Chain A
Amino acid sequence: MQRYIVIRFIQTVITLLILSIVIFTLVRMSGDPVLLMLPETATEEDYELMKSQLGLNKPVYQQYLIFLFDAVKGDFGKSIRTRKPVILSIKETLPNSIKLVTVAFVIGFALSIPLGIVAAVKKGTVWDNMARVVTGLGQSIPTFWVGLMLLQIFVVWLRILPASGMDTWQHYVMPATCLGIFLMSGVARLLRSSMLDVLDSEFVKMARIKGVRESVVIWKHALRNSLLSVVSFGGMYIAIMVTGAILVETVFAWPGFGRLAYAAIVNQDFPLIQGVVLTAGAVVMSANFFTDILYAYLDPRIRVQV
């Protein structure tokens, strides 16, 4: 198991390095930051001066190494627009998003596990069809639209929930539901299909032969195996959540990382974009890393391999 964790950790670091190269290259391909920062009236000398101040006259590989070492230290430079260090903006907003996504995860899984199980166990019945309709809608309706509808109902008509901010638990209800519904639909569908496979398996038949109670067959023997395929998508959910958060945080004016990303892109704030994308990448990578460890914990077959 230790060996497995070490190997996965090294793989994660390598992936992050590759991501940093991609970001570094993309940003340099998307325009000259010096031109963007200088006023219209600047002279050729001003341009050269700024270029050397920013270290852009050095060879590319040196630039990359400087960028990399700064990034490791948490220094992503300053925002072009606000002059505020990028790392500060990230530090302020990321925890808010983590809180929101955690609540969304709890809501999503609390709903999807029973829903997926019921749909599989009662396959072909009214329950299954209802679950299919609900999860189908949850997946196909855009998250921001769900957000707008929630705003219309609970803020405009019923006036029982706050529209923006994150001070009380009431503030969490709508954005977390919004993200949670999307997550729930995917997980429930995945769980249903893997549960159906598992319920058909020989070891479930064997458990029944032993005289195991049906509820134990489902919750112990079948669920743990079905969760394997759900968990293996865990890293992907985090990625989905990051994108989802950009939309939901913008709709509900949630002071989070997603809104920061949105602002960075809209303002073409390159240092901020670099910092945001790299951080998001790191979040998704570490989520994948922990997912794989969880997977290995759930499935003994993984532990011994590698």
Chain B
Amino acid sequence: MGDNMSELLNVKNLKTYFFTKYGTVKAVDGVSFKVDKGETFGIVGESGCGKSITALSIMRLVPDPPGRIVGGEIVLEGEDILKISDNEMRKVRGKKISMILQDPMTSLNPVFTIGIQLEEAIKIHQGLKGRSLRERAIELLEMVQISSAAVRYKNWPHQLSGGMRQRVIGAISVSSEPRLLIADEPTTALDATIQVQFLRLLRELQEKTGVGLVFITHDFGIIARMCQRAAVMYAGRIVETGSVRDLFDNPSHPYTAALMRSLPKLEEKVERLASIEGQPPPLNDDIQGCRFAERCTVAEHQCRLSYPDETEISDGHFVSCWKF
């Protein structure tokens, strides 16, 4: 019971499929994970593994058609948000769950000032008006370390740098003090130095507001820096979940282990980084077995027949592999 009190988000067996001319693409196929209050949970995986669709599914913003959430539960603070009406969900968005998108250059509307775009979010969920609305907007800009916020408030997006825009988006996202913030590769489009700044800012925002953070990335370095726990996704499934320490020190799924081997290490000088042979399977194939089997060096007959259940190999460290 004590465990439940700290639980913020519980995604159970989430399935999001895309129904296209070329067949059904199972972009997310039975994903489960939990996020505690105030925790930072990472989802790591290569492009196309379904991590962004997982995020959009939690927001219930999967483009429909062609996409649809076909199964599972998304329990936010005890309530399954897949069961509520569209209108109720709209009130959850921005207020309880918010999201930061990957590309700050396109995430702000070019024809409105950042002040207007920030105020819009505050107005919807907090009903502030006039002077107090403006003050709150400027306060938020200061919180994300925009200098001379009162002037910047009147700027259009194109007058701001990429890093600044991403901070404005950060301000919009936390404007109504959401319980859960999903950051979908928020630093991928930023310069390395700006990345570090933005990550630090996210951590500060989290400390101030106690928001639970789902951090989606393909960068293990960011996972190590930001997260307490993380999940590794492959071809629409989570293959391994655990504390960041578990994942780095004891990567147990062959895919995780292979990824770890392919990371460059400071202390070793190698000619060529290790790579994983082959490509991820197309997601519209009906694969019965483990999706990594074709590329796995230790796969056996069993691996191709059916998908392995999740096994807890140590406290809170789960692996979906027939080897365990």
Contact = CB atoms under 8 A, between A and B. Distances in A.
Interface residues of B, number: 32
A221 B109 contact: yes
A125 to B, nearest CB: 10
Q: Give chain A's interface secondary structure class.
A: helix
B91, B92, B106 interface centre (most CB from chain A within 10 Å): B106
Interface string B88-100: 0011111100110
B156 interface: yes
A83 interface: no
Contact of A209 (B59, B91, B113, B158): B59
A159 interface: no
A28 interface: no
A202 B101 contact: yes
B61 interface: yes
Nearest to A209: B99
A297 to B, nearest CB: 10
A225 B111 CA distance: 7
B106 A209 contact: no
A210 interface: yes
B285 to A, nearest CB: 26
Interface stretch (A164-172, A280-288, A298-306): A298-306
A35 interface: no
A298 B109 CA distance: 12
Given A211-B121, A213-B90, A301-B156, A205 B61 contact: yes
A224 interface: yes
A210 B91 CA distance: 9
B239 interface: no
B93 A225 contact: no
Given A208-B61, A209-B59, A210-B120, A203 B94 contact: no
Interface in A169-187: none
Contacts of A224: 111
Nearest to B105: A202
Contact of B93 (A124, A210, A228, A298): A210
B172 A211 contact: no
B109 A207 contact: yes
Contacts of B313: none
A225 B109 CA distance: 8
A300 B93 contact: no
A210 B94 contact: yes
A210 B107 contact: no
A209 B173 CA distance: 8
Interface in B110-139: 110-113, 120-121, 124-125
A99 B156 CA distance: 38
A292 to B, nearest CB: 16
Contacts of B158: 300-301, 304
Contacts of B142: none
A212 interface: yes
A203 B156 contact: no
Contacts of B112: 221
A205 B95 CA distance: 16
A203 B125 contact: no
B8 interface: no
Given A202-B101, A203-B106, A206-B101, A211 B156 contact: no
B124 A210 contact: yes
A202 B106 contact: yes
B111 A209 contact: no
A221 B125 CA distance: 18
Contacts of A210: 93-94, 98, 120-121, 124, 172
A201 interface: yes
Contacts of A212: 94, 120, 124
A95 B110 CA distance: 38
Nearest to B158: A301
A305 to B, nearest CB: 9
Nearest to A213: B90
B156 A300 contact: yes
B187 to A, nearest CB: 16
Contacts of B232: none
22 contacts: A202-B101, A202-B102, A203-B108, A206-B107, A206-B169, A207-B120, A209-B94, A209-B101, A210-B94, A210-B172, A211-B90, A211-B92, A212-B124, A221-B109, A221-B112, A224-B111, A228-B111, A299-B110, A300-B156, A301-B156, A301-B158, A304-B159
A-B interface, 5 closest residue pairs, ranked by CB to CB distance from nearest: A211-B94, A211-B93, A202-B106, A300-B156, A210-B121
Interface of A: 124, 201-203, 205-214, 221, 224-225, 228, 298-301, 304
Given A203-B110, A214-B90, A301-B110, 9 more contacts: A203-B107, A206-B172, A210-B172, A211-B94, A212-B124, A224-B111, A225-B111, A298-B111, A300-B110
Interface of B: 59, 61, 65, 90-95, 98-99, 101-103, 106-113, 120-121, 124-125, 156, 158-159, 169, 172-173
